[in-house]
């Protein structure tokens, strides 16, 4: 399957580097760690000096001024909250540097030997809803080519099974066809690798492998590498995501196999002794690469499964089926999945869902490097990690983004990868749902079972909020399990290519943290794994992770729009923020970006201010209403997604008000506020031009105005001719009871049947 579209035109200022970042992080020096400690101390000292020298001095000079007192208190609260977030960044960064320094990459031979002896089965779950087939295809291939001995890949299609729209139906059919396509293409190399392995087993009886056996395994590696290279050559590279797939998934794996072929050839030429067991391991590796079984599952075909429209329940539906054989059974309510007892034989139409030891959840727009599963499961199977429930590699961005907004959004993603590594150092890891290997046994400790409509619904991943992975992290930690970020870059995911799709993603990210933190606070008591309460560092980092978007958004709003007394703005505030910005600039450079991207990220956050506020307010609304917020999936299409007019208008208001503040500060001689206002105006204006686009702004504002003016007013439905009564739905009445009966009788217009039996009898008389 190939793309027929062309890649977007590369913008000025877009990323020039297309090569991926190093898988293993550079080992920090002692000087780097020392500078990190100095940055933490400097931040605290500058904040303390500001509070003492500025605020207290102003209170003494202007004591009794109520307005100034309130302004000073609110300003100190805002500065303290923002400084706390900056401090948490520096603390997490310091933990990440320590982990990178201590990490040792597991040798390949040790991995092969470990999985030869024993291994747990692994099922990859790829939830998908209305995705472009090409996006899903690359994800499935990256999962299917994992070097793992017992692997199943399941595509969880959440689209309506029978769409009426022709475009949606064609897209769904193309996505369904991916399963057979991948299985058919894997059959050829898998058969060749299996045949070579069976042949080798006949000749490897001694401790050392015969020369001919070494030559056979070398030829097998060459054949496998050439198959991957042919597959890479057949790909039509339409964008940087497809380029990553070709270079890192296909060509990267082929390069490793060619390297092994080169080593085996050298051993043959030098007549070096090669252990027979190592030759068997090399053969098994080829079999593992191509033996994945790919299938699909559509929960919306079955009335007995949850129909909640979110990713969490899509995954939960399949998790609840694991370990059983299920038979589709027709009923008046639809097709039901009925569990087949162990004593009964299975029939051809039954669905056998194995119970794996590990589950890998993978977003449909993500890709894994070839040894992701091997290394993460090896980590889980070490004796010291028996209490680890989830291990993951927080995803990085695809390199070579053609648009400025995608590049800068990717830069923030790469920074978050470092911070999540540091949070693991303080045992404050959060599950990031794009990818993670989960110990199936841990899910049973947090499952909640309820009966809905007579059917048992199991909920492993909570869907109370739209950031379901964050709440599940709290549940798993409360059950006594640990979560770990593996300190290598082994997974990559797409970032939104335009402002409209970015709005959908970031508004969802900003929604839910305030609701989850009270749950975490109530569960902060001593936990099962060690009986000790959580530490101050873990508490602070988790609190910052869940609530910082709220206070940072409201704090920045106050700083931008409230005319604070200029004397409250001190150079000491800048001194407290400077270590944070310098550390971020250094981290950006470490991730392959530019030092000056730190200013672009600041402007990026300015234009996202209304988006974050909208997400926070949604959390407040949900707290009062108690209702779930609909899950808004990030659009993954190649055309531009229009942004809501309000989110486009507010960045322009920020620029205009900042300019007004600058003009007013100039006339009052308030040079501190003048500099701050000009700084915000320049960066916000640059961000509007780079990330939203002036032309796109006009279009989105125009669409918003038209939609507002053209909203049809609700009118009374005109009375139409009475319909002839149809036959009574007797099966529906028998299966669904009085509610269905009452609705059916109302449609018939039979007033007497709607009344209570006593009143109906009186009126009949």
- Residue 656: pLDDT band with limits 50, 70, 90: very high
Q: Find the mean pLDDT for residues 631-645.
A: 68
Q: What percent of the chain has pLDDT over 70?
A: 85
Q: Find the mean pLDDT for residues 309-324.
A: 90
- Between residues 681 and 565, the one the model is more confident about: 681
Rounded to whole angstroms, the Cα distance separating 494 from 399 reads 10
pLDDT at 64: 59
Q: Which residues contact 168 (CB under 8 A, 6 or more apart)?
A: 130, 159, 160
Q: What burial letters (b/e) apply to 529-561, b meaning 16+ CB within 10 Å?
A: eeeeebeebbbbbbbbbbbbbbbbbbbbbebbe
Least confident interval from 356-365, 668-677, 734-743: 734-743
- Residue 291: pLDDT band with limits 50, 70, 90: very high
For 108-145, what is each residue's pLDDT tens digit? 889 988 998 778 899 999 999 989 999 999 999 999 99
Residue (of 216, 28, 80) closest to 548 by Cα position: 80
- Residue 631: pLDDT band with limits 50, 70, 90: low
Rounded to whole angstroms, the Cα distance separating 321 from 307 reads 15
Q: Enter the CATH code of domain 108-186+291-501.
A: 3.90.550.10
pLDDT at 750: 42
- Between residues 730 and 360, the one the model is more confident about: 360
Is residue 712's pLDDT more than 60?
A: no
Token representation of residue 436: 């993670």
pLDDT at 361: 95
Torsion of CA 569, 574, 577, 579, to 10 degrees: -160
Is residue 678's pLDDT more than 70?
A: yes
pLDDT at 6: 46
Parse the chain into domains and list their residue ranges: 108-186+291-501, 642-711, 730-764
Is residue 459's pLDDT more than 90?
A: no
Q: Is 96 exposed, middle or buried (0-12, 13-18, 19+ CB in 10 A)?
A: buried
Question: What size, in residues, is the chain?
Answer: 765
For 253-266, what is each residue's pLDDT tens digit? 999 999 999 999 99
Least confident interval from 403-412, 550-559, 594-603, 738-747: 738-747
Least confident interval from 156-160, 322-326, 355-359, 615-619: 615-619
- Between residues 175 and 732, the one the model is more confident about: 175
- Could you tell me if 434 and 493 are in contact, meaning their C-beta atoms sit under 8 angstroms apart? yes
Backbone Cα Rg of the chain: 30
Angle 557-682-55 from CA coordinates, rounded to 5°: 45
Is residue 718's pLDDT more than 60?
A: no
Q: Which residues contact 393 (CB under 8 A, 6 or more apart)?
A: 372, 376, 417, 435, 485, 486, 488, 489, 490, 491
For 88-111, what is each residue's pLDDT tens digit? 999 999 999 999 999 999 998 899
pLDDT at 705: 84
| Mean pLDDT rounded to a whole number for the chain | 84
Is residue 623's pLDDT more than 60?
A: yes
Rounded to whole angstroms, the Cα distance separating 376 from 353 reads 23
Question: 449 forms bridges with which residues in the sheet?
Answer: 458
pLDDT at 9: 56
Least confident interval from 128-142, 490-504, 737-751: 737-751
> What separation, in Å, do the N-terminal and C-terminal C-alpha atoms of the chain show?
73
- Between residues 565 and 189, the one the model is more confident about: 189
Torsion of CA 304, 308, 309, 314, to 10 degrees: -60
pTM of the model: 0.87
Residue 79, Cα to own-chain centre: how many angstroms? 31
Q: Find the mean pLDDT for residues 172-177.
A: 95
- Could you tell me if 146 and 374 are in contact, meaning their C-beta atoms sit under 8 angstroms apart? yes
Q: Find the mean pLDDT for residues 344-350.
A: 88
Least confident interval from 11-15, 157-161, 288-292, 334-338: 11-15
Token representation of residue 588: 């950006």
pLDDT at 238: 86
Top-ranked range on mean pLDDT: pick from 78-82, 444-448, 563-567: 78-82
Q: Which residues contact 167 (CB under 8 A, 6 or more apart)?
A: none
- Could you tell me if 275 and 217 are in contact, meaning their C-beta atoms sit under 8 angstroms apart? no
């Amino acid at each position: 399957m190939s793309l027929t579209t062309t890649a977007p035109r590369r913008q000025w200022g877009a990323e020039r580097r297309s090569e991926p970042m190093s898988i293993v992080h550079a080992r920090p020096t002692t000087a780097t760690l020392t500078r990190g400690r100095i940055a933490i101390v400097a931040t605290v000292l500058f904040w303390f000096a500001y509070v003492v020298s500025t605020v207290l001095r102003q209170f003494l000079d202007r004591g009794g001024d109520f307005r100034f007192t309130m302004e000073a208190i609110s300003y100190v609260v805002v500065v303290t909250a923002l400084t706390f977030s900056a401090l948490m960044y520096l603390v997490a960064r310091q933990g990440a540097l320590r982990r990178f320094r201590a990490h040792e990459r597991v040798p390949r031979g040790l991995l092969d030997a470990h999985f030869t002896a024993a291994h747990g089965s692994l099922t990859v779950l790829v939830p998908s809803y209305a995705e472009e087939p090409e996006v899903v295809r690359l994800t499935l291939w990256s999962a299917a080519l994992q070097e793992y001995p017992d692997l199943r890949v399941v595509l969880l299609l959440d689209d309506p099974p029978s769409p009426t729209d022709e475009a949606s139906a064609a897209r769904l059919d193309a996505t369904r066809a991916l399963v057979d396509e991948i299985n058919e293409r894997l059959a050829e190399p898998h058969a060749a690798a299996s045949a070579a392995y069976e042949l080798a087993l006949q000749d490897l009886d001694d401790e050392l492998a015969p020369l001919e056996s070494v030559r056979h395994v070398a030829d097998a590696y060459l054949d496998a590498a050439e198959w991957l290279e042919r597959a890479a050559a057949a790909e039509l590279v339409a964008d940087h995501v497809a380029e990553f797939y070709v270079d890192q998934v296909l060509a990267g794996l082929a390069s490793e196999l060619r390297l092994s072929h080169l080593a085996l050839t050298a051993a043959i030429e030098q007549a070096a002794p090669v252990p027979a067991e190592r030759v068997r391991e090399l053969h098994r590796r080829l079999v593992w690469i191509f033996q994945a079984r790919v299938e699909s599952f559509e929960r919306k075909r079955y009335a007995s499964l949850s129909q909640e429209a979110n990713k969490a329940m899509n995954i939960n539906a399949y998790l609840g089926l694991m370990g059983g054989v299920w038979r589709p059974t027709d009923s008046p309510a639809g097709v039901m999945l009925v569990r087949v007892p162990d004593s009964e034989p299975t029939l051809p139409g039954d669905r056998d869902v194995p119970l794996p030891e590990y589950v890998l959840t993978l977003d449909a727009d993500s890709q894994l490097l070839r040894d992701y599963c091997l290394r993460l499961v090896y980590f889980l199977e070490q004796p010291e990690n028996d209490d680890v429930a989830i291990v993951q590699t927080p995803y990085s961005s695809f390199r070579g983004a053609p648009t400025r907004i995608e590049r800068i959004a990717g830069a923030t993603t790469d920074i978050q990868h470092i911070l999540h590594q540091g949070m693991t150092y303080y045992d404050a890891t959060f599950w990031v749902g794009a990818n993670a290997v989960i110990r199936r046994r841990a899910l049973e400790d947090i499952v909640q079972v309820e009966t809905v409509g007579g059917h048992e619904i199991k909920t492993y991943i909570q869907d109370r909020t739209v950031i379901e992975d964050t709440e599940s992290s709290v549940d798993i930690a409360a059950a006594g399990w640990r979560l770990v970020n593996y300190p290598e870059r082994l997974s990559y995911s797409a970032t939104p290519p335009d402002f409209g799709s970015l709005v959908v993603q970031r508004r969802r990210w900003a929604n839910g943290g305030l609701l989850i933190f009270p749950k975490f606070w109530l569960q902060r008591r001593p936990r099962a794994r060690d009986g000790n309460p959580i530490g101050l560092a873990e508490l602070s980092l988790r609190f910052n992770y869940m609530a910082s978007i709220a206070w940072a958004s409201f704090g920045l709003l106050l700083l931008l729009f409230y005319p604070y007394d200029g004397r409250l703005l001190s150079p000491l505030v800048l001194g407290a923020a400077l270590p944070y910005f310098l550390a971020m600039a250094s981290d950006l450079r470490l991730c392959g970006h530019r030092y000056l991207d730190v200013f672009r990220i600041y402007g990026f956050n300015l234009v996202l201010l209304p988006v974050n506020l909208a997400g926070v307010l949604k959390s407040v609304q949900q707290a009062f209403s108690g209702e779930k917020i609909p899950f808004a999936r990030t659009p993954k299409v190649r055309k531009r997604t229009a942004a809501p007019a309000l989110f486009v208008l507010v960045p322009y208001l920020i620029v205009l008000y900042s300019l007004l503040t600058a003009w007013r500060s100039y006339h009052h001689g308030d040079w501190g506020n003048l500099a701050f206002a000009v700084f915000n105006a320049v960066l916000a204006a640059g961000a509007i031009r780079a990330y939203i686009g002036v032309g796109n702004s006009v279009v989105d504002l125009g669409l918003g105005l038209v939609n507002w003016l053209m909203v049809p007013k609700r009118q009374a439905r005109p009375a139409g001719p009475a319909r002839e009564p149809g036959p009574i739905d007797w099966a529906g009445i028998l299966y669904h009871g009085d509610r269905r009966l009452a609705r059916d009788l109302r449609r018939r217009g039979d007033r007497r049947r709607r009344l209570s039996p006593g009143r109906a009898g009186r009126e009949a008389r």
